[in-house]
Structure 1
Amino acid sequence: MDRIYLNQMEFYGYHGVFAEENKLGQKFIIDVILEIDLQAAGETDNLMKTINYAEVYSICQTIVENKTFKLIEAVAETIAEELLANYMNVQACTIKVTKPNPPIPGHYHSVAVEITRIRK
């Protein structure tokens, strides 16, 4: 299956289990992989045969910036559900949500979850 990648989209959101995370917010990084047959798009050079990347960005932005979740797992799940509901030609999607500065002790670059959902 062919793939479309949207890499390291950055948004500011208010997700976390601690009250300060919901009040102060922080940066989140979203990666999306869409599995779709792109042959017709490649052969015709027609946007209608593929996925509009700007629309996918907007869906992710709306979810991350306008909703609040305790878990980044819920952020990922909501994005996957919305993309599969909006794009019937997407056979599967992989969503990675990275939280660069979680309020937990220790030295590390970030924490992240990655999920893959397949159309049923």
Structure 2
Amino acid sequence: MGIIRLHNIRAYAYHGCLVEEGKIGSDYRVDVAVMANLQPSADTDNLKDTVDYVHINSIVKEEMAIRSKLLEHVARRILDRIFDEIPIAEEATVEVSKINPPIGGNVEMVTIEMTLARNNHRQQKEL
């Protein structure tokens, strides 16, 4: 097994429960780690045998563009797409951080982190 990590994917989005957040938006950071068997790609040197980080970046950008009230909802959509679109992904962790959240204090960022395994993804899809 191996891990492909994308650090500090930046996005401007309109997530949040407050009406103002949906109008003015804010800066976000997303970090993704995908666990998969990387031995085939290490042997073949072929992109089709690995986790394409360009594809992951695209998923993140597309899902960040869809407004949600909760960061958990955004993270779950990203996780669902990783498992739906990247067959060799076995487990993934997504961190979504809101930079300078409007919470009445000097807070650099708020982060939610979710991890999901492929077998749990399948079970939840069936419900």
TM-score tier after normalising by the smaller chain length: over 0.9
Q: Does 1:109 align with 2:108?
A: yes
> What residue identity is the alignment partner of 2:112?
V
Q: Does 1:34 align with 2:31?
A: no
Q: CA shift at 1:119, angstroms?
A: 0.7
Q: Look up the match of 2:59.
A: 59
> What residue identity is the alignment partner of 2:27?
K
Q: CA shift at 1:107, angstroms?
A: 2.1
Tell me the TM-score normalised to structure 1 length: 0.95
Distance 2:36 2:107 in 1: 34
> What residue identity is the alignment partner of 2:14?
Y
Distance 2:75 2:113 in 1: 7
Give the alignment's Cα RMSD to 1 decimal.
0.8
Identity over the aligned pairs, expressed in percent?
34
> What residue identity is the alignment partner of 1:51?
V
Greater alpha carbon shift after TM alignment, 29-38 vs 45-54: 45-54
Tell me the TM-score normalised to structure 2 length: 0.90
**Runs (4+) of structure 1 moved beyond 3 Å?**
none
> What residue identity is the alignment partner of 2:83?
L
**1:91 alignment partner, SS class:** strand
Q: Look up the match of 2:22.
A: 22
Structure-to-structure mapping, 1:81-100, within 5 angstroms: 81-100=80-99
Distance 2:7 2:38 in 1: 18
Distance 2:77 2:48 in 1: 25
Q: Look up the match of 2:123.
A: none
Distance 1:6 1:86 in 2: 17
Q: CA shift at 1:86, angstroms?
A: 0.7
Distance 2:78 2:100 in 1: 21
